[in-house]
Amino acid sequence: MGPGFEAVFCIVNSGFAEAAMDAARKAGAGGGTILKGRGTASREAEERFNIVIQPEKELLMLLVSSEIKDQVLRALYDGAGLDSAGQGIAFSLPVEKTVGLRTPEQKAEEADKPQEE
């Protein structure tokens, strides 16, 4: 069985998801999905983390091999983290099962199998 997958999420200020995606690609991610959203943080959260929270957000969702998850998270932090204009946060969740996705190794195994007629 090949490597598993991780779901990586990065929430950034509006207009910074493409920069986050560029950083993730450099770390080996293939692509992602960007959703528009609106944050609901309170004044207390702004004071606690010493940041100004813009309500308009973008959510970048990625599905990456478990083998590169740490590199992708690090790239997101370096490229769009809280110390940048994107003020992003990123986290990952393990993916138990996928449908319709195959790793390059699985594709090669399938190509080597004789086809039934």
Please write the tens of the pLDDT for every residue from 42-98.
778 778 877 777 789 999 999 999 999 999 999 999 999 988 989 899 999 999 988
Q: Which domain holds residue 13?
A: 5-112
CATH number of the domain that residue 96 is part of: 3.30.70.120
Which string of DSSP letters, residue by residue, matches 68-104? Answer: GHHHHHHHHHHHHSTTSTT--EEEEEEE---SS---H
| Number of independent structural domains in the chain | 1
Closest CA relative to residue 57, chosen from 37, 81, 43 = 37
Please indicate, yes or no, if residue 117 is contained in any of the structural domains: no
Q: At what angle do helices 69-80 and 17-26 cross, to 10 degrees?
A: 140
Instruction: Say if pTM beats, i.e. exceeds, 0.85.
Output: no
